[in-house]
Amino acid sequence: MPDRYAVFGHPIHHSKSPFIHRAFAAQTGQDLEYTAIDASPEHFAATVRTFFTEGGKGANVTVPHKEAALALAADATPRAQEAGAANTLFLTADGAICADNTDGVGLIRDLTNRWGLALEGKRILLLGAGGAAKGILAPLIAARPCAIMLANRTAARAEALVAAFAPRAAQLGVSLTTLPWAQLAHPAATPPFDLVLNATSASLTGSAPPLSPTLWAPDATAYDLMYGATPTPFLVAAQHQGAARTIDGLGMLVEQAAESFWLWRGVRPETEPVYQALRAQLGALAAR
């Protein structure tokens, strides 16, 4: 019997995780089965517990269950606790469910390994203050940029995040402040940014945060945590405004999966062929 893994979400039919993990398993010769399980919020915890009771070895968790996944776990890694959310569940040696979060490390690996970006000493603008932004803030601080500014449509949420992560940022000498949302379109005395990350879900409604051409340093990268068959509205706007490079979140998706796979199986898959296969699938969709 192959070891059983699954991704839990709601909805889940568009999930690329089964494709990614099956490709990793084929590549590394691991005997496992990986399925997608739709669980509504009210049934999520019970469905996950049943999955593990019936022999499941590990799980990924996606929208809207990442906070609930952390809550149901008996234990959690420091990075899941910091993120306040989990995207990966595994069993400890004594059979307890433990929560982890590989999103942040996935983002950093994509930025640094796939795209060759150095973050140390750079100026970063992070758009959004929801779960996605919270999940990547600690790893971004750990990369020791010179400054991270956080802008969110609802100012109070950005201020709360900055307050929560201020001690960590201060420890590492990273300036962590907010930038008023209205100033994105009219930045006052803000020096330009080397990297602008979109962690809002604005793309879901086809909109982009308000941006100005003066936000971008000459070599600036625009990175959207979301991805699709065509560039997100944020990436389209960034390119028009002179961002030197635009990158979507497909690489982050593959890298976070690889980190989960490593956690479960103790084997690091090669991510590039799987990334290229997914990129080709998206390209084929766009060409339709």
Chain positions contacting ligand ATR, by CB under 6 A: 128-133, 152-154, 157, 200-202, 205, 207, 209
Q: How far is the CB of 212 from ligand ATR (least distance, A)?
A: 15
CB of 4 or CB of 64, closer to ligand ATR: 64
CB of 179 or CB of 202, closer to ligand ATR: 202
Query: Residue 59: beta bridge partners?
Result: 6, 89
CB of 27 or CB of 62, closer to ligand ATR: 62
Query: SS3 for 195?
Result: strand
CB of 108 or CB of 208, closer to ligand ATR: 208
Residue 57: active-site member = no
CA-based torsion, 255, 25, 272, 7: positive or negative: negative
Give the integer Cα–Cα distance in Å for 109 and 85.
19
**Ramachandran class of 40: left when φ > 0, alpha when ψ lies in -120 to 50, beta otherwise:** beta
Name 148's Cβ contacts closer than 8 Å, sequence gap at least 6. Answer: 124, 125, 126, 137, 140, 141, 169, 174, 175, 176, 177
Name 245's Cβ contacts closer than 8 Å, sequence gap at least 6. Answer: 115, 219, 220, 221, 222
Closest CA to 193 of 150, 231, 233: 150
CB of 200 or CB of 256, closer to ligand ATR: 200
Closest CA to 280 of 272, 222, 244, 256: 272
Size (the chain), residues: 288
Give the integer Cα–Cα distance in Å for 148 and 146.
7
The answer to whether the CB of 175 falls within 8 A of the CB of 147 is yes
- Both tokens assigned to 2: 């192959």
Q: How far is the CB of 66 from ligand ATR (least distance, A)?
A: 7
CB of 153 or CB of 168, closer to ligand ATR: 153
Q: How far is the CB of 218 from ligand ATR (least distance, A)?
A: 26
DSSP state of 134: H
Q: How far is the CB of 209 from ligand ATR (least distance, A)?
A: 5
Q: How far is the CB of 232 from ligand ATR (least distance, A)?
A: 12
- Both tokens assigned to 10: 């709601």
Catalytic, out of 16, 57, 66, 122: 66
Q: How far is the CB of 57 from ligand ATR (least distance, A)?
A: 26
The answer to whether the CB of 26 falls within 8 A of the CB of 2 is no
Query: Residue of minimal CB distance from ligand ATR?
Result: 130
Q: Which residues are catalytic?
A: 66
